[in-house]
């Protein structure tokens, strides 16, 4: 595949087209500033065209033999496997992700495609008993129709694929609006894979655009019945409010302040490795990243010393270098914002155990401690390589601090007693919490998301079936019916 030149277009009804807008989105390599491509934005008219194409194509796709749908998904699995080296190169160039991070994303995306292929053959419904003699109740699982997907730039290939693949497998059509910082990895690349896999035209459409051009047209359009959004809490609230006013279902994966908790009996080396992965994967630009690292006061000094040593050894630089563990953040604007956050925390009394330099978009890791409870930095998501260590006094205090915070998409606790960890996880508010692991985890079979503070609805496995299908009750009366009057 020749990615950036070929895929820098809108993809509507099986055609690669130029957008009708008056300006371009420029896709840059965040490491070296190289211009990768430019894409003329789609207008509200093209939003309508994409949704109408999806609506036309979906009715026939829903009637298709499920084995036909599975074959398309299986073809997509094969194509990703055959082109994985090229896809990895694309992710490194477009996102500044390290090679190991890109390999992780592609590998997990393949597993989601495999899971979706199986979902195409899911049972179509249930047969339930009835109060009335001679009556049977049939409850059918039907596709919802057309789904609008607003994707994110952290793990964009995976984030888009984990929504698109099950939605298509279950008989729906999809229109995707990828993030402007990942229009190819999160948009055009996915379209090309399914195009080559034999997906009929119109079932998957990609619109590269911005709300400055289309306003809320992507959400408000009458065709989509479900809007799936991954991104910030602020934008997610707007998506939810707009969709709710139109009685549209939403699936929201939002930002937060996820916590990794280290109890006094934890294996500290293991906890440090989990914390480094959870905080610094993709330079900390991930919704599941551990924003807060909470450590029991009795082991805080030892944990901080080991974490500091580990973080100080992380190689920062060219993401194409296999030795690099931290590549560039997505833009110089983001680098400047991170500098301001750290400077503000230090002015408020925090201590820097490690203070990284900033060189353009390369932001070396920083480790801060001593932030007072209630510090604004502990209440917000930090999209960058900045780790915050805070202490607590005993397990009950840790639960209190985690639950008093703004909530996070994920979380983890480390302890020598596995069942103690499970009890701790059950006490914490939130939909995903991991014992002796990282906060950043994905599994195609397990419901992903949170329905407390940072989200609404779930994806993956059975949850994807719930999100992208609807139930229809059809009763059948056998024999004579006796009516009550």
Which tens digits make up the pLDDT trace of 133-158?
889 999 999 999 999 999 999 899 99
- The per-residue pLDDT for range 390-403, each reduced to its tens digit, is 999 999 999 999 98
Does position 37 have pLDDT exceeding 70, yes or no? yes
Confidence of residue 117 (pLDDT cuts 50, 70, 90): very high
Residue 1, pLDDT score: 45
Name which of 246-255, 291-300, 449-458 the model is least confident about: 449-458
The whole model's pTM is what?
A: 0.93
Residue 455, pLDDT score: 61
Residue 451, pLDDT score: 62
Average pLDDT over residues 441-466: 78
Average pLDDT, the chain: 93
Residue 454, pLDDT score: 57
Domains of the chain: 3-255+454-473 (3.40.605.10), 259-435 (3.40.309.10)
Residue 280, pLDDT score: 95
- The per-residue pLDDT for range 221-235, each reduced to its tens digit, is 999 999 999 988 889
Residues above pLDDT 90, as percent of the chain: 80
Does position 2 have pLDDT exceeding 70, yes or no? no
Pick the more confident residue, 406 or 287. Answer: 287
Residue 307, pLDDT score: 97
- The per-residue pLDDT for range 42-95, each reduced to its tens digit, is 999 999 999 999 999 999 999 999 999 999 999 999 999 999 999 999 999 999
Name which of 297-306, 352-361, 362-371, 452-461 the model is least confident about: 452-461
Residue 444, pLDDT score: 85
- The per-residue pLDDT for range 307-343, each reduced to its tens digit, is 999 999 999 999 999 999 999 999 999 999 999 999 9
Three-class secondary structure assignment of the chain: CCHHHHHCCEEECCEEECCCCCCEEEEECCCCCCEEEEEECCCHHHHHHHHHHHHHHHHHHHHCCHHHHHHHHHHHHHHHHHCHHHHHHHHHHHHCCCHHHHHHHHHHHHHHHHHHHHHCCCCCEEEECCCCCCEEEEEEEEECCEEEEECCCCCHHHHHHHHHHHHHHCCCEEEEECCCCCCHHHHHHHHHHHHHCCCCCCCEEECCCCHHHHCCHHHHCCCCCEEEEEECHHHHHHHHHHHHCCCCEEEEEECCCCEEEECCCCCHHHHHHHHHHHHHHHHHCCCCCCCEEEEEHHHHHHHHHHHHHHHHCCCECCCCCCCCCECCCCCHHHHHHHHHHHHHHHHCCCEEEECCCEECCEECCEEEECCCCCCHHHHCCCCCCEEEEEEECCHHHHHHHHHHCCCCCCEEEECCCHHHHHHHHHHCCCCCCEECCCCCCCCCCCCECCCCCCEECCECHHHHHHHHEEEEEEEEECCCCCCCC
């Amino acid at each position: 595949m020749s990615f950036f030149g070929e895929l820098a277009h809108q993809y509507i009804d099986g055609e690669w087209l130029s957008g009708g807008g008056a300006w371009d989105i420029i896709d840059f390599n965040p490491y070296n500033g190289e211009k990768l491509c430019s894409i003329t934005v789609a207008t509200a008219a093209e939003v309508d065209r994409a949704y109408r194409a999806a609506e036309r194509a979906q009715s026939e796709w829903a009637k298709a033999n499920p084995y036909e749908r599975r074959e398309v998904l299986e073809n997509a699995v094969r194509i990703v496997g055959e082109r994985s080296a090229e896809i990895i190169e694309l992710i490194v160039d477009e996102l500044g992700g390290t090679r190991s991070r890109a390999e992780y994303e592609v590998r997990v995306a393949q597993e989601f495609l495999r899971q979706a292929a199986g979902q195409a053959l899911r049972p179509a419904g249930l047969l339930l008993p009835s109060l009335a003699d001679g009556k049977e109740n049939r409850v059918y699982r039907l596709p919802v129709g057309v789904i609008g997907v607003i994707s994110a730039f952290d793990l964009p290939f995976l984030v888009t694929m984990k929504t698109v693949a099950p939605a298509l497998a279950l008989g729906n059509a999809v229109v995707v609006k990828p993030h402007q910082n990942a229009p190819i990895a999160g948009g055009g690349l996915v379209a090309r894979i399914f195009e080559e896999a034999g997906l009929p035209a119109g079932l998957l459409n990609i619109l590269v655009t911005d709300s400055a051009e289309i306003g809320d047209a992507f959400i408000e359009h009458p065709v989509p019945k479900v809007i799936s959004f991954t991104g910030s809490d602020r934008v997610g609230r707007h998506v939810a409010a707009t969709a709710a006013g139109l009685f549209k279902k939403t699936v929201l994966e939002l930002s937060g302040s996820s916590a990794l908790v280290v109890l006094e009996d934890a294996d500290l080396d293991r906890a440090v490795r989990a914390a480094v992965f959870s905080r610094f994967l993709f330079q900390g630009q991930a919704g599941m990243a551990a924003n807060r690292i909470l450590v029991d006061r009795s082991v805080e000094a030892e944990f901080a010393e080991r974490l500091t040593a580990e973080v100080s050894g992380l190689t920062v630089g060219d993401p194409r270098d296999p030795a690099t563990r931290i590549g560039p953040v997505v833009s110089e604007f983001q680098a400047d914002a991170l500098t301001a956050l750290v400077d503000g925390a230090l002015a408020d009394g925090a201590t820097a155990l490690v203070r990284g330099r900033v060189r353009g978009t390369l932001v070396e890791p920083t480790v801060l401690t001593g932030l007072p409870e209630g510090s604004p930095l502990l209440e917000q998501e930090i999209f960058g390589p900045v780790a915050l260590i805070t202490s607590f006094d005993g397990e009950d205090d840790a639960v209190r601090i985690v639950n008093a915070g703004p909530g996070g998409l994920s979380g983890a606790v480390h302890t020598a007693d596995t069942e103690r960890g499970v009890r701790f996880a059950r006490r914490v508010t939130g939909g995903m919490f991991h014992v002796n692991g990282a906060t950043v985890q994905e599994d195609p079979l397990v419901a992903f998301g949170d329905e407390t503070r940072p989200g609404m609805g779930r994806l993956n496995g059975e949850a994807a079936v719930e999100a992208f299908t609807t139930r229809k009750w059809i009763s059948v009366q056998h024999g004579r019916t006796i009516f009550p009057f």
